[in-house]
Copies of this chain bind each other. A is one copy, B any other.
Amino acid sequence: MIEDTAEVELLPRRKAQGYRAEDLAYRREWLKQRTGASLDIVGAHALDSQSMRGNIENPIGAAQVPLGVVGPLLVKGEHAQGSFYVPMATTEGAMLRSYERGMVVLTRSGGVQTRVIQDENRASPVFYLPDIGAAGDFIHWIRRHETKLRELADATTGHGHLLRLECAPVGRQVIVSFTYSTGDAHGMNMLCKATEAACHWIIEQTPATHYIILSGHSGEKRATGGLLAGGKGKKLIAGAVVPDQLLRHYLRTDAEEMQRFWNSTVLAHFQAASLGHNAQLANGLTALFIATGQDVANVVNSAVGIISLERTREGDLHVSVTLPSLTVATVGGGTHQGTARECLDMLDCLGTGKARKLAEITAASLLAGELSMSAALATGEFVNAHENYGRNRP
């Protein structure tokens, strides 16, 4: 369908289709001739090119992102228990130092409690109905046929399971959210396939004229208020009490100053019409996602979260992070090979049965970054810290 013409010089797919090392080399050479750019480092990768099939098209090599490690981080979850050293990939100087500082303080405070409250994922197709009355009837029909729709959806997959259906009409259109358990996978491909099976039958059986399999309503890879209500990924809470004495010793602040800091940034977030409240959730998420082979674009939904810093009646500081829509996986996608596999292995999070563990380690890691950056901002040390560790250091 996509044809080469004089004006539109396509990539040499036909000539060098495939994932062999020489296919990649051919493309690099072709690009070098057209753009003048050397692609030697791109080509000097340690990934098996054949195993890229299914993860990328038109491969030419690998991007390499500096990788470091921070810890120890003591986690007291239901799935993650013990002390972890956490891999993070980034080029933002001072960031790992910030997370490391927070992890050590949290560990010395007795560790981070975490809980997975919800673990699911969803697709939200939208159906077109002829009119308002038909839309109303359609909703009743969907509710009556939930069992049959579950059978159809579940028959397409060995891993996922349809948990529930929810209808949201907007005018004569009806959004139907199909929410699934997805095991240890991200699950979007699986649940789209399962949902499509159900949709085909809905179209046959109802006056709905057609549908769009992904309406955008689910919040996948976008920032929506609806994410806070759940349904997209894993919902976690993580928290710890940091003794006032440790705040003073390690972070040069105290519980009262941190409480005031939080109050103030909360007001600024409301003033900005922010979805949620945080210091640097996106930093930790991105660095962990790149390191562990996640679908990094999911940082957009995963970063919608809420931080609390609360001086307790005893004068210590309770810190917490709430993540309503964290997307992490330990099977599928980019998790199976290369540096991602090694990084997952470092956390003992490789393969089946490990996704909730990875989620708990992620939440606890993010809490460390929130604590550390909040302290740096509250005490006014933030800019200096970046001067010391950031780009321009001699």
Contacts and interface: CB of A to CB of B under 8 A. Distances in A.
Nearest to A373: B214
A330 interface: no
A93 B59 CA distance: 11
A91 B34 CA distance: 26
Interface in A159-201: 167-173, 175, 189, 192-193, 196
A16 interface: no
B65 A290 contact: yes
A273 interface: yes
Given A216-B269, A277-B216, A250 B2 contact: yes
B38 A52 contact: no
A129 B97 CA distance: 32
What secondary structure prevails in chain A residues at the interface with B? mixed
Given A56-B95, A63-B89, A216-B268, 13 more contacts: A2-B101, A35-B347, A39-B346, A76-B133, A117-B169, A171-B239, A189-B386, A219-B272, A225-B274, A266-B266, A267-B308, A282-B299, A299-B300
A72 B297 contact: no
Interface string A49-89: 00011111111111111111111100010100001010111
Contact of A132 (B64, B113, B279): B113
Contacts of A107: 7-8
B91 A56 contact: yes
25 contacts: A11-B100, A35-B346, A55-B391, A56-B66, A56-B88, A64-B65, A90-B295, A126-B267, A131-B241, A132-B239, A136-B237, A168-B230, A169-B237, A171-B308, A171-B320, A215-B268, A216-B278, A221-B303, A222-B278, A223-B276, A226-B229, A228-B271, A263-B263, A267-B308, A271-B306
A139 B108 CA distance: 28
Contacts of A171: 237, 239, 267, 306, 308, 310, 318, 320-322
Interface string A18-61: 00000000010001001111111110111100001111111111
A252 B93 CA distance: 47
Contacts of A8: 72, 104, 107-108
Interface stretch (A146-154, A351-359, A376-384): A376-384
Contact of A333 (B54, B78, B92, B126): B92
Interface in A213-248: 213-219, 221-226, 228-230, 237-239, 241
B217 A85 contact: no
User: How big is chain A's contact interface, by range?
Assistant: 35 or more
Most chain B CB within 10 A, of A8, A124, A347, is at A8
B66 A62 contact: yes
A338 interface: yes
Nearest to A46: B44
**Which 4 pairs, one residue from A and one from B, show the smallest C-beta to C-beta distance?**
A225-B225, A91-B334, A225-B273, A171-B320
Nearest to A128: B264
A224 B117 contact: no
